Structure 1
Amino acid sequence: MCGRAWGHPDVVRELLAHGADADLHEDRGSGDSPLGWALRGSHPETVELLRVAGRESDGSSSR
C-alpha cells in the first residue's frame, strides 16, 4: 500500500477491495506496516479500515 494514500480513505478502501495486504510490512526503511503509518499520520478513518481488514485476514470478526 502506498503511504500517500493514508490521508485518503477512499483510496485505501479501493486498494483493500482489490487485494492489497493490510498487514504487509516494509522490507526496507522502518519495517512498518500500513497501520503503523496511518497511526503516526493521525488518519483515524484509515486506521479503522486497516484494523478491520487485518481482523478479516486473520479470520477474526470481533471488534
Structure 2
Amino acid sequence: MPVLLLILAIGVFVWLWLARRGSTLTRLCRWREDRRVGPGHFRCAACGAECILPPGQVPRHCLRDAG
C-alpha cells in the first residue's frame, strides 16, 4: 500500500511539472481581452503589457520583462 501511494505522489508531481512547462504566467499576470481595440487584443492589468493573438487563443507567457 505505501508503494502505491508513493507511485501516485510521483505521478502527480510529474503531471504538475509537465502541465506547467508550456506557460510562464505568474500570479501577478492578469490578462484581459480588450474588445474595444479589437478581437484578440489582450492587455495585462498588472503591468500594462499588450499582445495580439488569433481568435480563440489566450496569452500563456508573461511579457513583464519584454518592455
Q: TM-score range by the shorter chain?
A: under 0.3
RCO higher in structure (CA 8 A, sep ≥6): 1
Computing the radius of gyration from Cα coordinates, the structure with the larger value is 2
| TM-score, normalised via structure 2 length | 0.21
